[in-house]
């Protein structure tokens, strides 16, 4: 075998470790000090191979000598670092770190055989102080240099960051490289292959966050003292954005959450009372953009928005009450549209604020709903717990759905109905709305006075969606009755056409209304219809009984209307047509036989009570269709036709509502509501007790309220009265311990 080349040292043994190390050290020195000179690693790898094939003790010795070498090298760097401060120290630290870690990679490569064999064997035996050569470099840097210079390095970093916060231009990369070095030193002693952020968090993140707090505490305190709250919010907003942008520039992503928390605490939480105190001023002055800014700031801290929601709710409630008070000078004469528009104006304004300034947040929406519920149900118009809000809402709905001369586009009408439902959502006494709405719907259907069947159907669908099928069941049945009546009238006309006296018959239309579904009571007066009307009614009754034997027809004269032509008027270009009620029709037909009729004669012929007759005559007198000899309506008056009657229209509507009728109807409706509520409460109590069999009195009251509140808010006293009624009727019984029991 050829002898070994003489360019390398002789084959090492246990006795010449010093010689081997001296040879290796010369190469390591060159790597550590000047990588740019180049280095032939081939001879060193050959040498290390021979060394590693030697004894186990040689590996341990080499590892120890390398450790001592690194410690000595780093100690010199520590001494040299004392000659530098601030940015110069940062530059020195970064330069030496870069040189050291690059060298570590080369040296790690040279000692790779040692790593694979001796180091691995030692680590497998559980020796925690042994690392591969690259990790050894990092451990020594951390334990020798880093612990000696880290505080001064961080001081330099923080000074640089403060310059950046003050608007100066800095070298971002310097800080980023320092952060990277701190992260690289996070070594798990148990498993060096698993890096940790412990070193970074303790030596960088902790002092960085503390310095951040101090900086912003000083700045914000001074800024608040010298500027308005609105200006401070803008400043805080800017600072928070800057800190978020700072992270990707030169910080580690791990700092995002604690940095936000620190900034939120100093910039927002410590000044939250000042911000909240300003909120009412912003509300009063409609400063939407500033409220949005305040919302976004206070939303960052726990519980930051709670006081704002409370103030917002109180403000909206007061605004709603003020809006109602402004239009409610006379509640009796209050126009439904004016009232509903006042409610909607406040809701529209503040729902837009919730959307635009408060991000449509659920809790602010709840505050808005609470406030609206208060001013809709408990305002100046609704004093003493009256039902005016649902009543006026129902009347406004009636105005929208009735035929009008102005005419409303379908899309506009649909939008108005949607707004109606917005107010309806807040109405607590939904049963009151239902009663008034059903009465008005009945009149629209009976008089064919709906603006649109589609609109009527749309409104009922909206109510059904809001309150369920039971709420609208009767309303839908009313439509069914009208449709059946149309088919019935078609059959009746065909029937009359085949009669001998067909020419003498009236052009009449009848509506058959199911007693259980229509909210209509009998007339409040006796009435003798004119002979012509009576004959047609008898003819229809016979026709109906043939089709539906056993059913009884009750005539609702107060809802009947008709048209009559006036051919007696002088100088009229064409005959006038009067649209009249059945009562007015009966009065006017008397003048076919006599030019003059006394009050007593009219009363006797029509059999109308004074409460009905007087208003009917009054309208005819006011319209100048009739003339009174004494200008009055009442006993002793004589009435005659006005042959000189004039009107701009040839179709004159005389069938207008009378206040006395309206008030009476409202009184009847309210009376019906009270009776229905008692029945509804009793049925709810029985239903609950049937399911539970036995309950405490208070628990029964609570469950009854929970079941009924969707229709109206019941009074506890009313529930207790209903319980007593059910005890008397023996639906319930008293048991021991004040319990109530159900009697099957």
Q: What CATH number is attached to the domain comprising 594?
A: 3.30.230.130
Whether residue 290 is predicted with pLDDT greater than 90 in this model: the reply is yes
Residues 229 and 255 in one domain: yes
- Terminal-to-terminal C-alpha distance of the chain: 117
Q: What is the mean pLDDT of residues 109-122?
A: 74
* Last residue of one domain, picked from the residues 237, 259, 284: 284
Whether residue 11 is predicted with pLDDT greater than 80 in this model: the reply is no
Q: What is the mean pLDDT of residues 628-635?
A: 88
* Last residue of one domain, picked from the residues 138, 173, 196: 196
Q: Confirm whether 515 is domain-assigned.
A: no
Q: Confirm whether 151 is domain-assigned.
A: yes
Residues 97 and 173 in one domain: yes
Whether residue 738 is predicted with pLDDT greater than 80 in this model: the reply is no
Whether residue 9 is predicted with pLDDT greater than 50 in this model: the reply is no
Q: What is the pLDDT of residue 49?
A: 44
Average predicted confidence (pLDDT) for the chain: 85
Lowest mean pLDDT among 3-7, 64-68, 120-124, 635-639: 3-7
Q: Confirm whether 75 is domain-assigned.
A: yes
Local confidence band at 56 (pLDDT 50, 70, 90 cut-offs): very low
Q: What is the pLDDT of residue 48?
A: 44
Local confidence band at 189 (pLDDT 50, 70, 90 cut-offs): low
Residues 74 and 215 in one domain: no
| Backbone torsions φ then ψ of 12, nearest 5 degrees | -75, 155
Is the backbone of residue 359 left (phi > 0), alpha (psi -120 to 50) or beta?
A: left
**Whether 367 contacts 426, CB under 8 Å:** no
Q: What is the pLDDT of residue 192?
A: 58
Q: What is the pLDDT of residue 658?
A: 54
Residues 165 and 24 in one domain: yes
Q: Confirm whether 472 is domain-assigned.
A: no
Residues 28 and 168 in one domain: yes
Local confidence band at 659 (pLDDT 50, 70, 90 cut-offs): low
**Whether 262 contacts 239, CB under 8 Å:** no
Residues 36 and 175 in one domain: yes
Q: Confirm whether 348 is domain-assigned.
A: no
The residue among 390, 546, 541, 556 whose CA lies nearest residue 463 is 390
* Last residue of one domain, picked from the residues 602, 636, 657: 657
Whether residue 258 is predicted with pLDDT greater than 80 in this model: the reply is yes
Local confidence band at 692 (pLDDT 50, 70, 90 cut-offs): confident
Q: Confirm whether 48 is domain-assigned.
A: yes
Lowest mean pLDDT among 124-128, 264-268, 294-298, 652-656: 124-128
Task: Please name the helix (run of DSSP H) or strand (run of DSSP E) that holds residue 741, with its range, or none.
Answer: strand 739-742
Q: What is the mean pLDDT of residues 19-48?
A: 62
Q: What is the pLDDT of residue 662?
A: 60
Number of other CB atoms surrounding residue 667 within 10 Å: 10
Whether residue 52 is predicted with pLDDT greater than 60 in this model: the reply is no
Q: Confirm whether 438 is domain-assigned.
A: no
- The residue range of the domain holding 679 is 664-742
Q: Confirm whether 101 is domain-assigned.
A: yes
Q: What is the pLDDT of residue 10?
A: 43
Residues 104 and 164 in one domain: yes
Cα distances (angstroms) measured from residue 564 to each of 386, 397, 641, 656? 42, 31, 14, 16
Q: What is the mean pLDDT of residues 252-277?
A: 94
* CATH code, domain carrying 226: 1.20.1310.10
**Whether 673 contacts 634, CB under 8 Å:** no
Residues 223 and 137 in one domain: no
Local confidence band at 3 (pLDDT 50, 70, 90 cut-offs): very low
Local confidence band at 441 (pLDDT 50, 70, 90 cut-offs): very high
Residues 106 and 152 in one domain: yes
User: Per residue in 403-437, pLDDT tens?
Assistant: 875 556 778 899 999 999 999 999 998 888 998 99
* CATH code, domain carrying 715: 1.10.10.10
Lowest mean pLDDT among 499-513, 565-579, 730-744: 499-513
Residues 132 and 192 in one domain: yes
Q: What is the pLDDT of residue 501?
A: 61
User: Per residue in 314-354, pLDDT tens?
Assistant: 999 999 999 999 998 766 678 899 999 999 999 999 999 99
Local confidence band at 744 (pLDDT 50, 70, 90 cut-offs): low
User: Per residue in 482-518, pLDDT tens?
Assistant: 889 988 999 988 888 877 665 556 888 999 998 888 8
User: Rounded CA gap, 551 and 548, in Å?
Assistant: 6
Domain count, the chain: 4
Residues 80 and 176 in one domain: yes
Residues 700 and 578 in one domain: no
């Amino acid at each position: 075998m050829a002898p070994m080349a003489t360019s390398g040292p002789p084959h090492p043994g246990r006795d010449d470790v010093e010689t081997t190390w001296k040879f290796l050290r010369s190469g390591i020195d060159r790597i550590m000090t000047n990588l740019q000179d180049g280095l032939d690693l081939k001879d060193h790898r050959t040498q290390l191979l021979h060394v590693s094939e030697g004894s186990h003790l040689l590996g341990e010795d080499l590892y120890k000598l390398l450790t001592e070498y690194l410690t000595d090298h780093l100690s010199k760097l520590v001494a040299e670092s004392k000659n530098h401060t601030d940015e110069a120290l940062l530059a020195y630290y970064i330069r030496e770190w870069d040189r050291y870690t690059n060298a570590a990679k080369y040296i790690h490569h040279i000692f790779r055989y040692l790593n694979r064999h001796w180091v691995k064997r030692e680590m497998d035996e559980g020796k925690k102080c042994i690392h591969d050569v690259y990790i050894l470099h990092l451990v020594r840097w951390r334990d020798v240099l880093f612990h000696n210079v880290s505080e001064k390095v961080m001081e330099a970093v923080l000074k640089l960051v403060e310059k950046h916060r003050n608007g100066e231009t800095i070298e971002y990369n310097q800080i980023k490289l320092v952060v990277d070095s701190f992260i690289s030193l996070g070594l798990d002693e148990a498993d060096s292959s698993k890096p940790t952020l412990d070193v970074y968090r303790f030596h960088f993140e902790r002092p960085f966050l503390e310095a951040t707090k101090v900086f912003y505490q000083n700045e914000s305190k001074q800024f608040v003292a010298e500027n308005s709250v609105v200006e401070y919010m803008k400043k805080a907003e800017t600072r928070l954005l800057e800190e978020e942008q700072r992270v990707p520039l030169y910080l580690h992503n791990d700092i995002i959450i604690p940095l936000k928390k620190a900034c939120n605490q100093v910039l927002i939480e410590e000044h939250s009372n000042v911000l909240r105190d300003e909120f009412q001023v912003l509300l009063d002055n409609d400063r939407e953009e500033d409220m949005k800014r305040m919302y976004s700031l206070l939303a960052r801290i726990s519980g930051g928005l709670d006081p704002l929601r409370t103030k917002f709710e109180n403000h909206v409630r007061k605004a709603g009450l003020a809006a109602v008070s402004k239009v409610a000078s006379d509640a009796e004469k209050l126009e439904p549209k004016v009232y509903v528009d006042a409610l909607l104006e406040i809701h529209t304004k503040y729902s837009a604020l919730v959307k635009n300034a408060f991000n449509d947040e659920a809790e602010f929406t709840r505050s808005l709903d609470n406030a609206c519920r208060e001013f809709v149900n408990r305002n100046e118009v609704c004093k003493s717990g009256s039902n005016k809000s649902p009543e006026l809402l129902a009347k406004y709905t009636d105005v929208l759905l009735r035929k009008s001369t102005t005419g409303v586009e379908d899309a506009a009408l649909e939008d108005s109905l949607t707004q109606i439902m917005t107010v309806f959502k807040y109405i607590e006494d939904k049963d009151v709305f239902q009663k008034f709405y059903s009465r008005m719907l009945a009149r629209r259907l009976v008089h064919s006075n709906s603006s649109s069947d589609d609109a009527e159907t749309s409104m009922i669908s909206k109510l059904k969606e809001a309150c369920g099928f039971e709420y609208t069941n009767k309303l839908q049945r009313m439509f069914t009755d009208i449709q059946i009546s149309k088919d019935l009238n078609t059959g009746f006309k065909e029937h009359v056409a085949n009669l001998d006296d067909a020419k003498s018959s009236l052009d009449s239309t009848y509506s058959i209304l199911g007693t259980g579904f229509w909210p209509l009571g009998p007339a409040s007066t006796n009435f003798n219809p004119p002979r012509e009307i009576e004959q047609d009614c008898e003819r229809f009754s016979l026709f109906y009984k043939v089709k539906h034997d056993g059913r009884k027809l009750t005539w609702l004269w107060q809802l009947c209307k008709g048209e009559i032509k006036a051919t007696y008027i002088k100088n009229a270009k064409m005959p006038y047509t009067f649209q009249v009620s059945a009562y007015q029709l009966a009065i006017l037909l008397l003048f076919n036989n006599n030019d003059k009729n006394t009050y007593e004669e009219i009363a006797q012929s029509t059999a109308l009570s004074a409460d009905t007759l007087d208003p009917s005559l009054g309208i005819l007198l006011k319209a100048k269709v009739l003339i009174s000899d004494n200008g009055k309506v009442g006993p002793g008056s004589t009435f005659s036709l006005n042959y000189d009657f004039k009107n701009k229209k040839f179709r004159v509507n005389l069938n207008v509502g009378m206040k006395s009728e309206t008030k009476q109807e409202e009184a009847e409706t309210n009376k019906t509501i009270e009776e229905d509520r008692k029945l509804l409460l009793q049925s709810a109590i029985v239903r609950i007790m049937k399911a539970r069999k036995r309950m405490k009195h208070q628990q029964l009251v609570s469950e009854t309220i929970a079941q009924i509140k969707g229709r109206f808010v019941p009074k506890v006293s009313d529930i207790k009265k209903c319980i007593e009624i059910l005890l008397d009727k023996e639906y319930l019984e008293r048991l021991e311990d004040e319990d109530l029991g159900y009697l099957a």
